[in-house]
A and B are shown apart, each in its own frame.
Chain A
Amino acid sequence: MTRPYRLLALVPVIAIVAAPWLANRAEPRLLGMPFLLGWLVMWLLVTSLVMALIGALDSRLDSRLDAQAETRRDAAPLP
């Protein structure tokens, strides 16, 4: 696993698939909504945040890898 931070994406997956068992109640209310609906909306927002984070870390890593590949190519002796 070269990019362990990608496992973060599993957190919303589990929270949402298990929602009917973890959060199937109407009380307490979240922002006026029944608990189950509020729970799902909250994880929808977290999903967006998590994907933004993974996307940012991925592109940082990608550009670093690209730069490395470039220097390696430059350093290689001409045939």
Chain B
Amino acid sequence: MIISLSILALTLFVTLALCLRGARGASSLEQWSVGSRGFGTILVFMLMAGEIYTTFTFLGGSGWAYGRGAPAFYIIAYGALAYIMSYWLLPAIWRRATEWKVLSQPEFFARAYDSEGLGRVVAAVSIAALMPYLVLQFRGLGLIVSEVSYDAISATAAIWIGTIATVVYVMLAGVHGSAAAAAIKDALVLITAVGLGIALPSILHGGIGEMFTRLERERPDFLVLPTTGLSPSWFASTVVMTVCGFYMWPHTFGSVFTAKHAGVFRRNAVLMPLYQLVLLFVFFVGFAAVLSVPGLTGSDVDLALLRVTKQTFGPWIVGLVGAAGLLTALVPGSLILMSIATMLSRLMTPRDATKVQSSTQARLWVPVLAAVALFFTFLGGATIVTLLLMAYSMVTQLFPALLASLLPRTTTSWGVSASGAIAGIIMGEVTVAVVTLGELSLPALLPTWPRSITDINVGFIALLINVCTMITVSRFTRTTHFDDTRTAAPTALAA
């Protein structure tokens, strides 16, 4: 316990120290939140990976493989597709964001549609979607520290320590701190995930092939998608829905702005799919745990990785794995905090505020937001997974309006108006909220419909409703107003 906790404390200390070194000179909001748009391939790559590999992938990925089997593979599938999309999508976003000098996602939408109202709707959606995500990170943090301390530290104390550490370094260091921490986190996650993914199946089952042979014998249907529920149509619709939402998270959208030039994203489109392979090893850990630490159910499946590690290895390894887990919670947590704070301060400060003033205000929001997230974390309840799925379905609704704003407008038929965009987003969100909060299930509502239709992910259905609303409302509210930057660069998306 002493050894594993010391490793955890050392990791936290080194990360904080590195972040504080990166903090010098970050005084304006632009420096604090987007690093003066001067980051190259490696740093942007680190930042983006820093946001994508969260406690949900590290603990949740292995937990899903453990609890559900084959449906967990959707996590590998959507990653690959999201990076293909990024090749065209991110340079287009980056070029406009840089030209317009915007710092956050709501501003981007407001500028693209020349509508403050749309900006406020986007900000509200973003903040509503990010809070449960932040709560999830904090809860993961508590889980990891109390498991690694062999229950010597309570989850509550762990959550407090982690939150305070996050707040301190976000307030001092901003995006530079996150990039430095992301680098340490990536190294640790790579080593521990790949190490565990290879070591656990061979120690416990005599190899990866043997492990799957045993699994197939004992749980014959575990390694293929079921015919109902998490079925093929659920898989495909979830993949499409999550790909659309992938870059709509405000913090991911925000990290696009940190790039020095658009070529950074082209190289990332090659590197990121390889990085996604880490998940394969995370799955191996989950599958190894199925046969070795059976019996975890409900939300306890997220403990599968930590439990099987504790059962197999000594405190040194447990400490290292815990440190990796700690950083997968802290780094995305800090980026989420920072992007909500940036959004709020830009919404609240008057236009004539100086750069230093708005930067100070953004920093002051950080502890307030952390306190709110802590409140929800301690409020507890088993609804966190429901909330996360809802959050993903929520941010995805921003995608159609974003795409429409990027398309070349050589013909007016594509023109989507600000009212159309707002109506589409609201209809999409209402669909998600009604179905998720009302705990409605489509197979129960429409029992006579084929399961291949009723298994479709609700976020995907909301997306369709969103697009139809957006196009219909736009037909009636379209104005002849054209943004000059848009007509000046009709081939921007293709460039």
Q: Which residues of A contact B (CB under 8 A)?
A: 2-3, 9, 12-13, 16-21, 24-26, 29, 32-34, 36-37, 40-41, 43-45, 47-48, 50-52, 54-55, 58-59
Contact = CB atoms under 8 A, between A and B. Distances in A.
Given A13-B84, A34-B216, A29 B209 contact: yes
A24 B224 contact: yes
Given A41-B280, A48-B274, A32 B77 contact: no
14 contacts: A13-B81, A13-B84, A16-B81, A17-B236, A20-B225, A34-B70, A34-B212, A37-B76, A40-B77, A44-B273, A47-B84, A51-B84, A51-B270, A55-B270
* Majority SS at the chain A contact face: helix
Given A25-B224, A34-B224, 8 more contacts: A19-B235, A20-B236, A24-B232, A34-B212, A44-B80, A45-B273, A50-B84, A51-B266
B182 interface: no
A51 B81 contact: no
B45 interface: no
A40 to B, nearest CB: 5
A33 to B, nearest CB: 6
A16 B239 contact: yes
Interface of B: 70, 73, 76-77, 79-81, 83-84, 87, 207-209, 212, 216, 223-225, 231-233, 235-236, 239-240, 263, 266-267, 269-271, 273-274, 276-277, 280, 283, 494
A47 B208 CA distance: 24
B232 A20 contact: yes
Contacts of B233: 20
A17 B83 contact: no
Nearest to A51: B269
A17 B70 contact: no
A26 B77 contact: no
A40 B270 contact: no
Nearest to A55: B266
A38 B283 CA distance: 12
Contacts of A29: 209, 212
B280 A47 contact: no
Given A18-B236, A24-B224, A55 B273 contact: no
B80 A43 contact: yes
A41 to B, nearest CB: 6
Contacts of A2: 494
A41 B281 CA distance: 11
Nearest to A43: B80
B372 to A, nearest CB: 38
B53 to A, nearest CB: 15
Contacts of A19: 77, 235
Nearest to B491: A2
A47 B273 contact: yes
Given A34-B212, A44-B76, A51 B273 contact: yes
A28 to B, nearest CB: 12
Q: Which 6 A-B pairs have the closest CB atoms?
A: A32-B209, A20-B232, A34-B223, A48-B273, A51-B269, A20-B235
B205 to A, nearest CB: 11
B387 to A, nearest CB: 26
Nearest to B71: A20
A47 B80 contact: yes
B224 A26 contact: yes
Nearest to B230: A20
A18 B240 CA distance: 11
B84 A40 contact: no
A18 B231 CA distance: 12
Contacts of B209: 29, 32
A43 B207 CA distance: 23
